Every structure is written in structure tokens, then in C-alpha cells.
Amino acid sequence: MGTATSTAAERRMFQRKPAASYLGIGLRSLDQLAADGQIPKTRIAGRVLYDRVDLDAFIERQKQAS
């Protein structure tokens, strides 16, 4: 059974700062990637959230592009 707290690697949805940290980029870079449509964002209960699945997909696309 899961615990009340989860590590960043286990979390499904991230707010802005943890999402940028997960990717190893700055907040402005994350904002730009979202604005460019490279990383989708979702609004839930008034908060902008980033899905770990989308962040991982972005990482994989970057690997393939290199």
C-alpha cells in the first residue's frame, strides 16, 4: 500500500517548480516549452499541472533528436 508522501519519481502530476526540477531546467524554459506546445499542461482545481508521462515523453524525444 502507498504512503501519504511520495517522491518526485513516484508522483504523477507536478506543479510548475517540481516539473522544471524533474526535467533539470529552469522555470522560464519550462514556460517556453509549454507555450510552444512541446510539453502539455493541465489545469486541475485552478492549478497548472504537468503530467509525468508527458515530461518523460519530452525527455525521450530529446534523446532521439540528439
- pLDDT tens sequence for the chain (66 residues): 555 555 655 889 999 999 999 999 999 999 999 999 999 999 999 999 999 999 999 999 999 987
Q: Which pLDDT belongs to residue 50?
A: 98
Q: Which pLDDT belongs to residue 11?
A: 85
Report whether 36 contacts 45 (CB < 8 A). Answer: no
Residue 60 located in a structural domain: yes
Q: Which pLDDT belongs to residue 7?
A: 64
Q: Which pLDDT belongs to residue 63?
A: 93
Give me the CATH number covering residue 34.
1.10.1660
Count CA within 13 A, CB hemisphere, residue 65. Answer: 6
Q: Which pLDDT belongs to residue 65?
A: 85
Query: Distance from CA of residue 44 to its chain's centroid?
Result: 14
Q: How many domains does the chain have?
A: 1
Residue 24 located in a structural domain: yes
Residue 32 located in a structural domain: yes
